[in-house]
Structures are given as structure tokens and as C-alpha cells.
Amino acid sequence: MGKPLSVYVVDDSPVQTDIVRALLEKAGHVVTTSQSSALALREIPASRPDCVLMDIMMPEIDGYDLCRRLRAMPELGHTRIFMVSTKAFPFDRRRAAELGASGYFTKPLNPASFVEELERFVAETLTLTFWGVRGTLPISRKDSLRYGGATSCASLAFPDGRLFIFDAGSGIKPLGDALMAARRTRIDGTILISHPHWDHINALPFFLPFYVSGHQFEICGASHGDVTMRDLISAQMDGVYFPVTVREFAASVTYRDLAEGEYDLRGVKVKTMLLSHPGNCLGYRLDYSGRSICYVTDNELFDPGSEFYSEEYVERLAAFARDADVLITDCTYTDQTYPRKIGWGHSSVSQVADLAWRARPKTLYVVHHDPDDTDEAIDGKLAHLRELLAKRGGPTRVEAPAERTEVDI
């Protein structure tokens, strides 16, 4: 925990205000409580707390109206508002968000996790998890256990429960299993597909939350001419190739075709860029609350002097990723292997080092490793990358994440 939070709790139940006060004060936070929403409306603008926790069903002024009135006050622009209610309906969560609430807690509160969840809400902590870091095809070998053998998938979890998923390679299967084990209800997810090559969509049919009513997902990605994202996913699950079709999804699953441009997806600013790879392949940049995450795979930069090298393209990609907090990118080949793989649509260590030096992200995560790479080979690529960037004086921290690596941003 950072500095103590100033928290104002308004709930007409004295039992509930006492519970919340006890949990927050035990964690070192400063708490003011009130059982009167009318009194809270007068006191909150004067005290300007860091955050307000309010019930929805209250006499005098209900939580919706109180939230609306407080959000209309400019002096409370930095105060975060959270609903705490027995009402677990999706409508109430949506309505609270529309009126300016930053989050929603359902009673009874979990005393083991409530304070930490609130602190993450206030800090707007994003959690990035890597579920698959291989390219081309999944592997299972004794010399590749540390980094894992699943193909492309990473998730970005927001404190309010929103979930963004990058690609649906075999890594999306353990992600789905983890969500089911956590008994997540009413997941609001966005799946960003870079492109429909098999290693990026091969486990989509095995993502268990698709088969549970109440969840909602939007699958986004680039169309291929007259073939839409819906067509691509439906064809993958055609009865000839897979015994279950998209008609068996119990969750609400929608599809959206993206081009190169800027979008608002679930309240998050998302930029896209077409990448140097066979077919339409999109890189993504998410900007949220002063932080940015770039996901750029698959992508071939080529070596300077090559007939295929484009300085304009490399600089445009560097501008796309410039100063990002996180850049996740394709580093499939060593410099020694790359000459035998030119034109396959993937980059080498030296090419990625040059991109990172130009873009200067805070942290570079290299993924999409060649299926022939052992753990030691990936260690070698990581050491070489760090050496090249150190020689050029780049400020970027470089990591090669293993499966299940979790990072707070």
C-alpha cells in the first residue's frame, strides 16, 4: 500500500458501515462514515476524500442519484466513487458506470480481498499475464519447460473486471481454465486477434467461458477482404474441422472487423497498425489512465540493406510503440537462424533491439519463440538483446516472460 487513503463510506446500514470501517482502518486508511445520504452530499464536497463507497438502496437520496450529483461537482474530479450493493445484476453495474462510478462491489464483502481490490481500483492497476509465448505450434519437451510450450496468448485485466485478451493460441485454454476456477461471473471480455494463422486461434474453441451463459465477449481483428472475423471463426469451427460450432456458444459472443486506425473498445482507447506479415495482421496499442501497452506480433522487420527493408515502415512502427509502458513483440529468431528464415514473417534479435532503441518503451517483452528454441536458446536471445541495447544506451528493460508470468502495470 502507498499513502493511506481518505475514504468516505455512506450506507444506511450501521452494520455495513462498521464492517467497512473496520476493514479499512485495519489496513491503515482514514475513514469517515455516514448513514445519511443527504448528510453525505453536504460533507463530501467539503472533505474531498480520495474515494467514496456508497450503497445504492438508501432513503432520502439513492446511490445512483448521489453518484450523479457528486460527479457533477468539479471540485470532486479526483475523487473515485464506488458502489457497494447487494444488487448483482448487470444492469446495475452498467448504470453505475454510466453515472460515473469507478467500480462496483457486491455485498457481502469478502474480508480477505476487499481492501486490496479497492486499493487496486484507486491505483487503476492493470495486470498483464502471459499464457503462451511460443510461435508456430505448441511444444512439449524437457528442454523447454521453463518458458513453456503454449502458443500466443496474453491477458490484460482491469480492476473493474474488464478483460482484454491478446490472441487465442493454445495459451487461451489455461486462461479459460483459470477464469472458471476463480468462478468469475459475467465476464466482460474483448479478444484482440492479431491474425488468423493457426497458432493464434487454435485453442479458441476450447475457451470454456464461451460455453457459460452470462459472459459476454467481443472478438476483434482484421478482415481479409470479403472474409470477416465472424466468417474466420465460424469456418474454424465448421463441423468438418471441429465437432462443436459457434452456435453452441452459451455466452454472448459478437464480432468486430478492425482496420488500421483508432477505436474505443469497452471504454479503452485502442490504436491498430497493419504489420509486416503474410495476410492482414494487426498490432495493438491500448492507452488507459496514463499507461500504454503495445502488442506487436507477428512482424518481420528485415535487415538494413535487404531488398525488403523499409526504413519508413520501421520508423512508423517505432512511432506506434514509442514510450509505451509495455511493448510485447515477436522475437522468433536468433541472428544466426534468421538468414535461413527470411520472408517467413518474423523478426530476429538485432531487428528487435533496433526497434526497441527507436521506440524506447519502458519494458520490452519478447515472445513468439521458434518451436525449436530450447530454454537455453531463449536465455541466449534475452542476453544478446540486453547487450545490444546496453551498447546503444537504450533505457528499456528487456524480459523474456515464461508462461503464467504476471505483471502489474
**Whole-number percent of the chain with pLDDT over 90:** 85
- Residue 35 in grid coordinates: 448513514
Among residues 80, 105, 123, the one where a domain terminates is 123
On whether residue 221 sits in a domain, the answer given is yes
The pLDDT of 12-27, averaged and rounded, is 95
- pLDDT category, 13, cuts 50, 70, 90? very high
Q: Are residues 204 and 333 in the same domain?
A: yes
- pLDDT category, 243, cuts 50, 70, 90? confident
Which residues are registered as beta bridge partners of 224?
A: 227
Give the angle 43-47-50 at the CA atoms, nearest 5°: 120
Residue type at 257 in one-letter notation: D
- 331 vs 92, residue with greater confidence: 331
On whether residue 339 sits in a domain, the answer given is yes
The whole-angstrom separation of Cα 353 and Cα 335 is 11
On whether residue 40 sits in a domain, the answer given is yes
Burial string for 106-122 (b: 16+ CB within 10 Å, else e) reads eeebeeeebbebbbbbb
pTM of the predicted protein model = 0.88
The whole-angstrom separation of Cα 7 and Cα 155 is 31
List, for residues 165-188, the tens digit of each pLDDT value: 999 999 999 999 999 998 888 899
Residue type at 29 in one-letter notation: H
Q: Are residues 119 and 165 in the same domain?
A: no
Check whether 7 has a pLDDT greater than 80.
yes
Which parts of 190-310 fold into alpha helices (H)? 198-201, 229-236
The candidate with the shortest Cα–Cα distance to 367, out of 149, 165, 152, 164, is 152
Give the angle 157-64-95 at the CA atoms, nearest 5°: 45
The whole-angstrom separation of Cα 195 and Cα 167 is 8
Q: Are residues 116 and 259 in the same domain?
A: no
- pLDDT category, 160, cuts 50, 70, 90? confident
On whether residue 1 sits in a domain, the answer given is no
Would you state the pLDDT for residue 130? 98
Q: Are residues 375 and 292 in the same domain?
A: yes
List, for residues 336-346, the tens digit of each pLDDT value: 999 999 999 99
Q: Give me the phi and psi of 339, to 5 degrees please.
A: -55, -25
On whether residue 311 sits in a domain, the answer given is yes
Q: Which residues contact 318 (CB under 8 A, 6 or more apart)?
A: 355, 358, 359
On whether residue 347 sits in a domain, the answer given is yes
The whole-angstrom separation of Cα 302 and Cα 311 is 10
Q: Are residues 172 and 303 in the same domain?
A: yes
On whether residue 41 sits in a domain, the answer given is yes
Check whether 53 has a pLDDT greater than 70.
yes
Q: Are residues 57 and 179 in the same domain?
A: no
Would you state the pLDDT for residue 123? 85
Check whether 91 has a pLDDT greater than 90.
no
Q: Are residues 81 and 167 in the same domain?
A: no
Task: Give, in order, the Cα–Cα distances in Å from 83 to each of 67, 268, 300.
Answer: 9, 21, 47
The whole-angstrom separation of Cα 275 and Cα 226 is 19
For the ranges 87-101, 299-313, 368-382, which has the lowest average pLDDT? 87-101
In 6-126, the DSSP E strands lie at 6-10, 30-34, 51-54, 80-85, 103-106
The total of structural domains in the chain comes to 2
Contact at 8 Å (CB) between 66 and 85? no
Give the angle 284-287-292 at the CA atoms, nearest 5°: 80
- pLDDT category, 97, cuts 50, 70, 90? confident
Q: Are residues 381 and 257 in the same domain?
A: yes
- pLDDT category, 1, cuts 50, 70, 90? low
Domain range enclosing 391: 127-408
Q: Are residues 102 and 215 in the same domain?
A: no
Q: Are residues 93 and 191 in the same domain?
A: no
Please report, for the domain that includes residue 10, its CATH number.
3.40.50.2300
Q: Which residues contact 246 (CB under 8 A, 6 or more apart)?
A: 233, 234, 237, 253
Please report, for the domain that includes residue 338, its CATH number.
3.60.15.10
Q: Are residues 189 and 297 in the same domain?
A: yes
Among residues 123, 158, 179, the one where a domain terminates is 123
Mean pLDDT across the chain: 94
The pLDDT of 243-250, averaged and rounded, is 90
Q: Are residues 228 and 96 in the same domain?
A: no
Check whether 99 has a pLDDT greater than 70.
yes
Among residues 123, 140, 157, the one where a domain terminates is 123
Where does residue 339 rank: exposed (0-12), middle (13-18), buried (19+ CB within 10 A)? exposed
On whether residue 99 sits in a domain, the answer given is yes
List, for residues 268-317, the tens digit of each pLDDT value: 999 999 999 999 999 999 999 899 999 999 999 999 999 999 999 999 99
Would you state the pLDDT for residue 183? 86
